[in-house]
């Protein structure tokens, strides 16, 4: 059930976590969940000898390993899980070209990546696990990804059905459950999550408390240009997103981490968000909307609401303590 977390049990509110796990597992019994569960169950079982997590595409399986019939079954299961928001994945030589080129975000942080070899890692808001598969290349002790969205969990389970990597785990927990973990993780990733929540400082404090002393965080957000320390608080939507609360300048973002008592705050990336990184594809088609639909067609430096267009900021920081 949660056996992979037993080595950390003394630092976890264990009974509460077990109750949460039991409650979230029941989500799969909802009638609305069957359309996500069915493709996983119907995807044929295939043992592949090929895995490659080093490149832009998470690659599992070779076309020559399976028959045309099995290949078509795998392909139909993958298509049944559209839309794919994060990727790219390559399953038996079929490219799942997701909305987000998540490899570009990974490449930006790669020169600053903390050591995760034999480390315990948390990926908050992990979506379908793309970044966890990239982490698996570096031989972590354990990676836990949390995201309370059934379609994302289903996509992870589909990929994992063929990757079968026992170091990475996906649970339907949310960022609000961080408080169940105290000094458990050596490294925490929070990639594009913090602006979706109403109290960024409280979230950062919980991230810090979930880290071991000396642990490190990689945290990424959308942001706006500006030299001063302030954050946009949209009245309604920002770039069509209704679940956006605070959109900071870079200096504001840095100050958030300092206010949360992180040390050694380092700027990993400060870059434009472009349609090369986020766009609609055959695997995330209309009526889904993407970056292009969120910007003013006459002035792409602004969102359709008239706010400054989003940039991507990524920071790295440490918790005090440790050696």
At 49 the pLDDT is 84
Residue 119 lies in a domain: yes
Rounded-to-integer distance, Cα 241 and Cα 232, Å = 14
Band of the pLDDT at 250, cuts 50, 70, 90? very high
The reply to whether omega before 287 is within 30° of 0 (cis) is yes
Query: What pLDDT digit, counting tens, does each position of 106-149 carry?
Result: 999 999 999 999 999 999 999 999 999 999 999 999 999 999 99
- Residue 90 maps to a domain: yes
Task: State the pLDDT at residue 152.
Answer: 98
User: Region 231-256: what's the mean pLDDT?
Assistant: 96
Q: What is the pLDDT of residues 190-223, one digit of tens each?
A: 999 999 999 999 999 999 999 999 999 999 999 9
Rounded to the nearest integer, the mean pLDDT of the chain is 96
On the question of pLDDT at 47 being above 90, the answer is no
Backbone angles phi, psi at 28, to 5 degrees: -70, -15
For 82, counting Cβ atoms within 10 Å of its Cβ (0-12 exposed, 13-18 middle, 19+ buried), the class is middle
Q: Is residue 45 part of a domain?
A: yes
Q: Using alpha carbons, list the distances in angstroms from residue 134 to 129, 222, 289.
A: 9, 22, 26
CA distance 318 to 264: 6
CA distance linking residue 154 with residue 237, whole number of Å: 28
Split into its structural domains, the chain has a count of 1
Backbone angles phi, psi at 262, to 5 degrees: -85, 155
User: Domain of 34: which CATH number?
Assistant: 3.40.50.150
In order of 79, 125, 129, 310, the CA distances from 117 in angstroms are 34, 21, 18, 33
Question: How many C-beta atoms surround the C-beta of residue 32 within 10 A?
Answer: 8
Average pLDDT for 28-51:
93
Q: What is the pTM of this model?
A: 0.96
Please give the Cα distance from 61 to 84 (Å, whole number).
19
Query: Per residue in 277-297, pLDDT tens?
Result: 999 999 999 999 999 999 999
Banded model confidence at residue 323, pLDDT cuts 50, 70, 90: low
Q: Is 304 a member of any domain?
A: yes
Identify the domain containing residue 141 by its residue range: 11-318
Residue at 5 is within a domain: no
- Letter string b/e over residues 187-213, b meaning 16 or more CB atoms within 10 A of that residue's CB: bbbbbbbbbbbeebeebbbbbbebbbe
Average pLDDT (52-73) is 95
6 occurs within a structural domain? no
Report percent pLDDT > 70 for the chain. Answer: 99
Of 221, 127, 181, the residue nearest 8 (C-alpha): 181
Query: Is residue 134 a contact partner of residue 58, using CB atoms and an 8 Å limit?
Result: yes
Residue 3 lies in a domain: no
pLDDT in the model for residue 48: 86
1 lies in some domain: no
């Amino acid at each position: 059930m949660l056996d992979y977390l037993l080595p950390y049990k003394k630092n976890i509110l264990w009974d509460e976590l077990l109750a949460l796990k039991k409650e979230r597992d029941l989500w799969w019994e909802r009638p609305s969940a069957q359309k996500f569960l069915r493709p996983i169950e119907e995807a044929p079982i295939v043992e592949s000898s090929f895995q490659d997590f080093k490149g832009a595409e998470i690659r599992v399986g070779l076309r020559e390993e399976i028959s045309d019939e099995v290949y078509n079954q795998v392909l139909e299961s993958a298509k049944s899980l559209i839309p794919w928001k994060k990727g790219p994945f390559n399953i038996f030589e079929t490219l799942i070209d997701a909305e987000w080129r998540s490899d570009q975000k990974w490449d930006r942080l790669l020169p600053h990546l903390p050591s995760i070899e034999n480390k315990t890692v948390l990926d908050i808001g992990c979506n379908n696990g793309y970044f966890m598969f990239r982490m698996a290349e570096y031989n972590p002790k354990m990676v836990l990804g949390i995201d309370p969205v059934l379609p994302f969990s289903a996509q992870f389970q589909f990929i994992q059905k063929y990757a079968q990597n026992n170091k990475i785990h996906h649970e339907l927990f949310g960022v609000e459950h961080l408080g169940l973990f105290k000094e458990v993780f050596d490294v925490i990733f929070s990639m594009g999550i913090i602006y979706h929540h109403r109290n960024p400082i409280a979230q950062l404090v919980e991230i810090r408390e979930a880290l071991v002393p000396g642990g490190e965080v990689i945290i990424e957000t959308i942001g706006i240009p500006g030299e001063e320390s302030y954050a946009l608080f949209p009245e309604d939507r920002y770039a069509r997103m209704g679940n956006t609360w605070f959109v900071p300048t870079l200096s504001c973002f840095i100050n958030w981490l300092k206010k949360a008592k992180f040390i050694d705050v380092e700027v990993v990336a400060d870059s434009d968000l472009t349609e090369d990184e986020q766009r609609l594809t055959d695997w995330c088609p209309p009526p889904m909307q993407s970056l292009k639909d969120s910007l003013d067609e006459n002035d792409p430096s602004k969102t359709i609401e008239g706010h400054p267009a989003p940039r991507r900021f990524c920071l790295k920081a440490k918790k005090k303590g440790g050696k």
